[in-house]
Amino acid sequence: MFSKACEYGIRAAVYVALQSLDGRRVSVNEIAEEIDSPIAFTAKILQQLSRSKVIHSVKGPTGGFELDRTEMDTVKISTIVHAIDGDDIYVGCGLGLKECNAQKPCPLHDKFVDIRNDLKNMLENTSLYELATGLEVGLTYLKR
Amino acid sequence: MFSKACEYGIRAAVYVALQSLDGRRVSVNEIAEEIDSPIAFTAKILQQLSRSKVIHSVKGPTGGFELDRTEMDTVKISTIVHAIDGDDIYVGCGLGLKECNAQKPCPLHDKFVDIRNDLKNMLENTSLYELATGLEVGLTYLKR
DNA sequence: TCAATAAAGGATAATTTTGTCCTATTTATT
DNA sequence: AATAAATAGGACAAAATTATCCTTTATTGA
Ligand code: FES
Ligand code: FES
């Protein structure tokens, strides 16, 4: 479904959001530890998220990653997926035709588009804040 | 969503079903041509589908791949996906946790499971026959 | 100013997925 | 029996993804 990079990216962003709720800035090392991901690879992904304005980064001592409260509402999971995996999952053909086109649909088109749109809507309507609060009250987990 | 191998596999199986409706047995070369896929790679995938009883293969001159009419109804797209990509898409965690577990869910679990189940049901309720007939009447396409 | 800390970024390695090529096996036809 | 056509399968190659390591840059605080 999503690439590994994207999975780590979402988990990382949720963790950053969670800690930012407490005003804590977090380092790559802490993030990788808390979401159980490879450190250096996670660093790359955080760079990407930072460049695409999903999270904010601060260099130097006391630096790290953070997200302000209003951004947690506006940043949707769809933004993260788009930043890392591109728009294939939103517009691509389920059977791999060069493009998904209702005028010349693949055999699975009609049924696939329904699912794809549900997924798209779900991701577009889920904010980092929403996911972070579930974590905060201990209902959900970022590693096992 | 699906791997390339799986995309080719579904397209190939639909084409085999379509031709089998006319009693025609088809070769790897014809299949690859008609679904616009790399020949040798497609051959591997057809082997896999043959081993997992999704389609039937016949060696030698006049040989090729075929599917009998009753199998077109019983073989669902979910079978093909499972044979090639395994069950990750049916049971895996959307955020990449080692396993999806409602007792210790990831932040996206509840929303993700809904989509995943819709996808699963869709694939389980779509037969090769259904997809082949859409092709037959010229409503859908296997390449662009 | 200096040392320490943390992200940014470049180079490279490992792994997985995708793809190719060649030989072996099976089988229909002559 | 010989030939040719077709899948099966093994070995290998290319490309993409995942992952690591090292150097550079920015910033804090002593
Ligand atoms: S053409 Fe295949 S999903 Fe739209
Ligand atoms: S635990 Fe992540 S989808 Fe179920």
What are the pLDDT digits (tens) for A3-55?
999 999 999 999 999 999 999 999 999 999 999 999 999 999 999 999 999 99
Mutate which of B87, B91, B93 for ligand 2 pocket (most atoms within 8 A of beta carbon): B93
The pLDDT value recorded for residue A91 is: 98
Q: What residues of B are in the A interface, CB distance below 8 Å?
A: 1-2, 4, 7-8, 10-11, 14, 77, 89, 92, 94-99, 101, 104-109, 111-112, 114-115, 118-119, 122, 126, 131-132, 134-135, 139-144
What are the pLDDT digits (tens) for B38-80?
999 999 999 999 999 999 999 999 999 999 999 999 999 999 9
The pLDDT value recorded for residue A143 is: 96
At residue B140 the predicted structure's pLDDT band, cuts being 50, 70 and 90, is very high
The pLDDT value recorded for residue A134 is: 96
Residue A120: name the closest of A74, A83, A82 by CA. Answer: A82
Q: Are B112 and B94 in contact (CB under 8 A)?
A: yes
pTM of the model: 0.96
Q: Is A97's CB within 8 Å of B1's CB?
A: no
Q: Are A108 and B122 in contact (CB under 8 A)?
A: no
The pLDDT value recorded for residue A23 is: 96
Contacts of B2 in chain A (CB under 8 A): 94-96
Q: Are A1 and B94 in contact (CB under 8 A)?
A: yes
- The mean pLDDT value for A43-72 works out to 97
At residue B133 the predicted structure's pLDDT band, cuts being 50, 70 and 90, is very high
The alpha carbon of A26 and the centre of ligand 1 are apart by a number of angstroms equal to 41
The pLDDT value recorded for residue B29 is: 98
